[in-house]
Amino acid sequence: MNTKKIYLLALVLLQCLCLKAQDIKKISWGKIPQEDLSMTVYPLDSAAEAVVLDDIGEMFFYFGNGVRYTLTSHKRIKILKEGGIERGNIFINYYFEKNSENIKGLKAQVIAPDGTVTKVKDENIFDEKISESQAQKKVACPNVQVGSIIEISFKIESDRWTLPRDWYFQSDIPVRHSQVEFIPIEDVTYIKQTKGFVPIIEKNGFFISTNLPAMKEEPYISTIDDYKAKVTFQLHAYINSKGVYTPYLAEWKLISELLHESFKFGHRIYNDGQVSDTWDLIKNDLNLTGDTLALATSIYNKVITHVKWDEKYSLFADREGDEVYKAQTGTSAEINALIINLMRKANLDAHPVVTNPRSFGRFNATYPMLDNLGHVLGSVVIGGKRILFDGTNQYRPFGIVDEEDLTTDALLINKKEAKIIPVEVQNESESHSIELSLNAEGQITGTISSKYRFLSIEDEAEAKENKSFETRWKSRLEKLSDNITISDYEASFGEGDFKSKFKFIAAAEFDQTEDMLYVPTGIYSQFLTNPFKLVDRKFPIDFGHQISETVITSFDVPEDYVVEALPANLNLSTTNKEVTYNMACSNLNKKVQIVRRTNILSPYILPTEYGAVRGIFDKIEVKNNDIIVLKKKAE
């Protein structure tokens, strides 16, 4: 055999070995490669204060008093800057209630760049109960300096086999290599779902990702967890003791059956005995003329004005309707279940709609996951049309939901049946008419008449009821002056809208010289200043809903003045009309009027458009602050 062939063979073998070494990784306790010890900066992110070098996990399922699993974790973190030294304090959460989870074999050590090892002792480890069901193991690693590597290993034994822990690849510092091996038992299958914006390789039961950038919180997104790279697991099906294949919540149908059987869901909605006392209390005040819309509205209003939301979202209602009505507070499921049950008692076609609040993570229609459901809305069919409602705010008119409910779709439940329905895009609409003038003392006074529709109604209605409208408007007008007096405020509901009107006096004067008067026209708008402050942005902009704002500012030109200069009209728009702006100014019969309309038609804007969106809001800000120049009439 010639050497060439042997050489070639060796090369091929070597290649295979290298390929394997690149993806699935094995690390041994205490054996740190020299390059890691001497690293002073992470090549892919020189600003990083620390980096996770390796994060190796194994989820191993077994039978032992029911199905259980262990999560073994072996992690190495390199400290690169002063700011990273805090990472010497490590926290591990676990469920201790009913002995559900235990942490075993916890060991940790700190290795200096010269190889010296400081071991973590018992006196550096603490255990603390942090709530009714969760506890936390805390480790204070000794001798952590810039350049140290913290190595930690532990095993969590858990009985939570139907919903095993998520494995996060990404962290708020860069991660060089993260992998988890998932070893289920035969006969038990899981849905595995990877999420995030970075590649995750799945291979032989391993999930691997490398060279992950750091992931930090930013404003105007639903939640950071939606974007962090991770893999989640949910039990799909198992072979039961009789050898029968049993699907577990694999379809929405199975979830809806589970919910229907549940005492805290199905019974709360479909068993009218749970609201009989309340029904007796309210039935005489209801609109029973046959107008189903009026009936549904009156039931809804009765409950929301009597029961206050305790700011907790829930899927299951702990208490029955009568108890909730009596206690006058409830979780989101308790309030909405109460309303639905009462509507059904009144022979309306009402059913629950299950979803997840936006800031908890998007509702995912493709993968039925119980974990993904944290909230219940109500729906009722009136005149062939399905109307959604959410009774968590007593100022919210019937038929409008909350911003948190505006996921793209949700799960409609009809007893045991389930169906995915779309959640319509909603609009937040405000229009204001501002009439300005100067009073005898030279101060700026005016009247503001406003109309609110859809999502914008509840905030102004609430401000009227709890008398906070003065604070609200003073803060809205603070650019004009920090000394504003509000008077003659009146507000009321109209046909599908809410109107308000009031007078104001601002201790501010128009800028003026001997013969010029400068009238500012930026009195109020949501966009008087650009809401986008970041220079750069990685995530999509998620307004959650459409926004439309119209502001008409007008004033009478004083007797002895004429208009010297009017601002020019302007139309702006982003490429696909996600954001549009129109401004038109006129001067008729000595009355100057500026009409400004801002529309955000697309609630969801990709990060590639951020620069353009920020740029347009900068221009809108400048235009909203235009000044009108008046000149004194020549003698």
Partner 1 sequence: MKRNLLLLKVTLCLFILTILSYDTTAQDWNVMHIPDTLKKDATIVTRMKQEKIEVMGKDKFTWTFRKVFTIFSENEHWEETGLYYNSFIKINNLKLTTYDASGLKIKDYGKKDFKDYSVFDGSSIHSDGRQLTLSTQRSEYPYTVELSYTLEFASNLYIPNFRIQQYGEAVESSNYELVFPKDAAVTFKSYNLPLSLDSIYSEVEPGKLKFAWNFKDLYAIKGSAYTLPNDLVLPHISCISSNFTFGKTKGSSQSWEHYSKFIYDLNATQGEVTPEMSQLVKDLTQNASSELEKIEAIYQYVKSKMRYVAVTLEIGGLQSFEASFVHKNFYGDCKALTNYTKVLLKEAGIESYGALIYRGDKKQAYLDTTFSDARFNHIVLYVPSQDLWLECTSKSYPAGYLGSDNEDRFALLVKEKGGGLIKTKAYDENINIQDIDITIQVNDDGMHEVTYIKTLHGEDHEDFRYYVDNADREQLEKYFVRNLDQTPIKFSSLDIQYEKDKPISTVKAKFYISKIGTQTGNRFFLNSNPIEKLNFFTDNAKEERKGPFYLQNHSTNKLKITYILPPGYQMESKPIQTSAKKSDFGKFEVSSAMEENKYVFTRDFVTKPGIFEGNRYKEMMDFRKEYNKLESSKAVFIKP
Q: How far is the CB of 14 from partner 1 (least distance, A)?
A: 39
Helix (H) or strand (E) holding 619: helix 610-624
- Tell me the CA distances in angstroms from 346 to 234, 272, 298, 373, 414, one per residue in order: 39, 10, 11, 28, 17
Q: Name, in order, each residue with C-beta under 8 angstroms of 301's C-beta and a sequence gap of 6 or more.
A: 398
Q: How far is the CB of 520 from partner 1 (least distance, A)?
A: 9
Q: How far is the CB of 394 from partner 1 (least distance, A)?
A: 7
Collapsing DSSP to helix, strand or coil, 240 comes out as: coil
DSSP structure string for 345-359: HTT-EEEEEEE--GG
Near partner 1 by CB under 8 A, which window of 36-44, 271-279, 326-334, 486-494?
326-334
Position among 35, 114, 122, 132 found at the interface with partner 1 (CB under 8 A): 132
Position among 411, 455, 480, 484 found at the interface with partner 1 (CB under 8 A): 484
Q: Name, in order, each residue with C-beta under 8 angstroms of 188's C-beta and a sequence gap of 6 or more.
A: 61, 67, 161, 235, 237, 238, 239
Position among 149, 200, 231, 307 found at the interface with partner 1 (CB under 8 A): 307
Q: Which is nearer to partner 1, 18 or 535 (CB)?
A: 535
Binding to partner 1 by residue 567, rule CB under 8 A?
A: yes
Q: Which is nearer to partner 1, 83 or 496 (CB)?
A: 83
Near partner 1 by CB under 8 A, which window of 286-294, 354-362, 483-491, 601-609?
483-491
Position among 6, 21, 562, 565 found at the interface with partner 1 (CB under 8 A): 565
Task: State how beta strands 516-520 and 89-95 pair.
Answer: unpaired
Q: How far is the CB of 574 from partner 1 (least distance, A)?
A: 17
Q: How far is the CB of 589 from partner 1 (least distance, A)?
A: 21
Position among 153, 271, 287, 394 found at the interface with partner 1 (CB under 8 A): 394
Collapsing DSSP to helix, strand or coil, 560 comes out as: coil
Collapsing DSSP to helix, strand or coil, 257 comes out as: helix
Supply φ then ψ for residue 70, to 5 degrees.
-120, 140
Binding to partner 1 by residue 533, rule CB under 8 A?
A: yes
Q: How far is the CB of 116 from partner 1 (least distance, A)?
A: 12
Q: Which is nearer to partner 1, 349 or 478 (CB)?
A: 478
Binding to partner 1 by residue 564, rule CB under 8 A?
A: yes
In 475-522, which ranges are E strands? 484-493, 497-506, 511-512, 516-520
Near partner 1 by CB under 8 A, which window of 76-84, 185-193, 196-204, 572-580?
76-84
Binding to partner 1 by residue 145, rule CB under 8 A?
A: yes
- Nearest by Cα to 350 from 301, 387, 401: 387
Binding to partner 1 by residue 328, rule CB under 8 A?
A: yes
DSSP structure string for 293-349: HHHHHHHHHHHHHHSEE-S---SS-SS-HHHHHHHTEE-HHHHHHHHHHHHHHTT-E
Instruction: Count other C-beta atoms under 10 Å from residue 225's C-beta.
Output: 15
Task: State how beta strands 50-63 and 175-183 pair.
Answer: parallel
- Rounded CA gap, 196 and 230, in Å? 6
Handedness of CA 285, 276, 307, 260 (dihedral sign): negative
Position among 251, 261, 417, 482 found at the interface with partner 1 (CB under 8 A): 482
Residue 577's Cα: distance from chain center in Å? 25
Beta bridge partners of 491: 500
Binding to partner 1 by residue 530, rule CB under 8 A?
A: yes
Cα angle for residues 544, 550, 555 (degrees, 5° grid): 150
Instruction: Count other C-beta atoms under 10 Å from residue 487's C-beta.
Output: 9
Position among 140, 198, 293, 420 found at the interface with partner 1 (CB under 8 A): 140
Binding-residue total with partner 1 (CB under 8 A): 60
Binding to partner 1 by residue 126, rule CB under 8 A?
A: yes
- Rounded CA gap, 378 and 321, in Å? 14
Position among 15, 22, 133, 329 found at the interface with partner 1 (CB under 8 A): 329
DSSP structure string for 258-291: HHHH-TTTHHHHH-GGGGHHHHHHHGGGS--SS-
Instruction: Count other C-beta atoms under 10 Å from residue 231's C-beta.
Output: 20
- Rounded CA gap, 458 and 564, in Å? 42
- Rounded CA gap, 114 and 228, in Å? 34
Q: How far is the CB of 331 from partner 1 (least distance, A)?
A: 12
Q: Which is nearer to partner 1, 192 or 538 (CB)?
A: 538
Near partner 1 by CB under 8 A, which window of 78-86, 99-107, 179-187, 489-497?
78-86
Residues 591-630, one symbol each (x = binds partner 1 by CB under 8 A, - = not), give ---------------------------x--xx--xxxxx-
Position among 142, 205, 399, 558 found at the interface with partner 1 (CB under 8 A): 142
Binding to partner 1 by residue 492, rule CB under 8 A?
A: no
Q: Could you give the count of Cα atoms lying within 13 Å of 160 in the half-sphere of its Cβ?
A: 20
Q: Which is nearer to partner 1, 22 or 329 (CB)?
A: 329
Position among 192, 236, 267, 306 found at the interface with partner 1 (CB under 8 A): 306
Position among 25, 68, 81, 192 found at the interface with partner 1 (CB under 8 A): 81
Considering only residues 42-61, where is the footprint of partner 1 by CB under 8 A? 47-49
Position among 16, 534, 562, 606 found at the interface with partner 1 (CB under 8 A): 534
Q: How far is the CB of 626 from partner 1 (least distance, A)?
A: 6
Task: State how beta strands 230-239 and 245-247 pair.
Answer: antiparallel
Which parts of this chain interact with partner 1 (CB under 8 A)? 47-49, 81-83, 85-86, 88-89, 124, 126, 128-132, 138, 140, 142-145, 216, 305-308, 310, 327-329, 394, 466, 482-485, 507, 511, 513, 516, 518, 530, 532-535, 564-567, 618, 621-622, 625-629
